[in-house]
Amino acid sequence: MKENTIFDEIYQVVRLVPAGRVTTYGAIAAYLGKKSGARLVGWAMNACHADASIPAHRVVNSTGLLSGKHFFGGDTMERLLAAEGVMVKNDKVVDFKKHLWIPAEELL
DNA sequence: AGCGTGACGTGTA
DNA sequence: GTACACGCCACGC
């Protein structure tokens, strides 16, 4: 490891996300020190296909919308979330704020 | 070395 | 409340 790349940094944080919780691209970016690096997180997630150990399905946008569910292959993302206790309605996380997990706050 | 793109976020109209 | 535009960092060509 010790790639020291933004990708790995993001991967580590995403892997720290507990089951039944979801985080946002902005939260991860903020934790890494990137204020508006949300796009970078999305980019890293795109490469997450190389790491099946990364629960990218727990990462949603600030509106709680499963932006990447389309990339997972249909209902895979919402199904994984539902299996962990996170209900998804209309591609959006139910009680999103309640399930929201922010590294900068929880890992504080 | 420069331009375009991207699973986003925030602000303004 | 919805729609549009700009900004951010990193990667691909």
In whole angstroms, what is the distance from residue A42 CA to residue A65 CA? 13
A44 within a domain of the structure (yes/no): yes
Counting Cα atoms < 13 Å in the Cβ hemisphere of A7 gives 13
| The model's pTM | 0.91
Domain with residue A16: its CATH number is: 1.10.10.10
| A4-8, A15-19, A23-27, A61-65: least confidently modelled range | A4-8
Chain A 16-55, CB < 7 Å to strand C: 34-40, 43
Does a structural domain hold residue A86? yes
Q: What is the 3-state secondary structure (H, E, C) of chain A?
A: CCCCCHHHHHHHHHHHCCCCCEEEHHHHHHHHCCCCCHHHHHHHHHHHHHCCCCCHHHEECCCCECCCHHHHCCCHHHHHHHHCCCCEECCEECCHHHHECCHHHHCC
Could you report the per-residue pLDDT of A43-82, keeping only the tens digit for each?
999 888 878 899 999 999 999 999 989 888 878 999 999 9
Q: Structural domain of residue A35, as residue ranges?
A: 6-99
pLDDT band at A1 (very low <50, low <70, confident <90, very high): low
Structural domains of chain A, count: 1
Considering only CA atoms, name the residue closest to the C1' of nucleotide C11.
Answer: A43
Tell me if A81 is assigned to some domain: yes
For residue A50, being part of any structural domain is answered with yes
Mean pLDDT of chain A: 90
